[in-house]
Amino acid sequence: MYVLAIDGGGTKTLATISTCRGQIMALAETGKSNPTSMSFEQFTETITELINDLKRQQPHEFQHITKCHAGLSGVTENNNEEITHALLTSLLPKDCQLSLSNDGLNALYAGTLGQPGIVQISGTGAITLSIDYSGRIERTAGWGYIFDDEGSGYDIGIRTLKAVFKAFDKRGPETLLTAAVLEYFQLQSVPQIIEVVYGEAHPRDTISPLSKIAIECAKRGDGEANTIIDQVCYVFYQSIDACYKKNPFTDKRVKVVLAGGVFNELELFIKKLITIDKKNSNQYDFVGAYSLPVGGAALAALKLPSKEAQLFIDQYNASMKEFLTN
């Protein structure tokens, strides 16, 4: 018996075939797979290419896949779940048990090992998602970069640029962010940033990477950078708390998984979030993920008890490392 796990977002999609003990047999990667931001034809082509790649690698194992979980960005919106279910059913072995979710569930299970909890995702975008013991899923935030996605890489980048331009105008204090942003863009003066931001690339793609600069300057003790990270941590906490209120847990303490590229400096965010939590409910345990989100997708398909899930993910991680180095 083999399990197929799929994790798809707005940038890339990763899928694995593994044994039920966590040994990866095949791995495939392709582009974005968000059905809300691409045509039906593009979405179909992407998913078909992904599945066919796995099938080419391990044709025998593919035919013996009995469980599949696909966590894809946008799949639970605008009737996309029905479309995606029909597409995958046509591509998978006849008796394969298929389940679908938003890709946030993958990230959650990668941190809770398939158990209930809350996940705060922050990459280019941001969203908060929770699942309780009955399996009910709730979400907050993540409604798009134009008017939401607070705490995302894009949002942090916008806050960074505001601080830089305010410092340039003397409307705000001097900050290490100015030199760091100019160095990143290889510019000589602050006004030159305008031409870069409004250049050929989408502003979101240009601005989001500046989140790394804000985080690095915060680690160096810059006041403005730390203010930005404090602000987004408060935003995260508000969203986490709202998600909890939508989906209350019986446990006194709830595990909150921090996932996504913004949280690469995990300890910085955990420290700030713990400080906020102590002033409020003091009920959250903030943690990182044990594996890539695709590992969480595998756990979503298998629904293993805690101890077995830990053994599975340990083997899965070791196998993933070996797979990627070969």
Which of 175 and 81 is assigned the larger pLDDT? 175
Tell me: pLDDT of 73 over 90. Answer: no
Q: Look up tokens 């003091």; give the residue.
A: 282
DSSP string, 145-185: TTT--TTSHHHHHHHHHHHHHHHHHTSS---HHHHHHHHHH
> pLDDT band for position 137 (50/70/90)?
confident
Tell me: pLDDT of 281 over 90. Answer: no
The size of the chain, in residues, is 326
Q: Residue 258 has what pLDDT? A: 97
Q: Considering the chain, what percentage of its residues have pLDDT values greater than 70? A: 100
Q: Residue 120 has what pLDDT? A: 96
Residue pair 71/300 in contact by the 8 Å Cβ criterion: yes
CATH of the structural domain 114-289, one choice from 3.10.200.10, 3.40.1190.20, 3.40.50.150, 3.30.420.40? 3.30.420.40
Which of 118 and 76 is assigned the larger pLDDT? 118
Q: What are phi and psi of 28, to 5 degrees?
A: -135, 150
Identify the burial level of 79 via C-beta atoms within 10 angstroms of its C-beta, where 0-12 means exposed, 13-18 middle and 19 or more buried.
exposed
Report the C-alpha gap between 300 and 309 in whole angstroms. 10
Tell me: pLDDT of 34 over 90. Answer: no
Mean pLDDT (whole number) for 50-68: 96
Report the C-alpha gap between 50 and 29 in whole angstroms. 7
Report the C-alpha gap between 167 and 193 in whole angstroms. 14
Report the C-alpha gap between 118 and 323 in whole angstroms. 30
Q: Residue 248 has what pLDDT? A: 78
Identify the burial level of 21 via C-beta atoms within 10 angstroms of its C-beta, where 0-12 means exposed, 13-18 middle and 19 or more buried.
exposed
Report the C-alpha gap between 188 and 146 in whole angstroms. 29
> pLDDT band for position 202 (50/70/90)?
confident
Which of 208 and 125 is assigned the larger pLDDT? 208
* pLDDT tens-place string over residues 95-111: 999 999 988 899 999 99
Q: Closest Cα partner for 108 from 278, 260, 302? A: 260
Q: Residue 307 has what pLDDT? A: 92
* Class of domain 2-111+290-325 (CATH, top level): alpha beta
Q: Residue 10 has what pLDDT? A: 74
Mean pLDDT (whole number) for 262-279: 95
Is the four-CA dihedral 271, 207, 28, 324 of positive or negative sign?
negative
Mean pLDDT (whole number) for 213-220: 97
Mean pLDDT (whole number) for 276-302: 94
Highest mean pLDDT among 101-105, 141-145, 218-222 belongs to 218-222
Work out the mean pLDDT of the chain and round it to a whole number.
93
- Written as six digits, the tokens of 151 are 């705490």
Tell me: pLDDT of 200 over 90. Answer: no
Q: Residue 230 has what pLDDT? A: 98
Tell me: pLDDT of 173 over 90. Answer: yes
Would you list the domain boundaries of the chain? 2-111+290-325, 114-289
> pLDDT band for position 250 (50/70/90)?
confident
Q: Residue 325 has what pLDDT? A: 83
Tell me: pLDDT of 229 over 90. Answer: yes
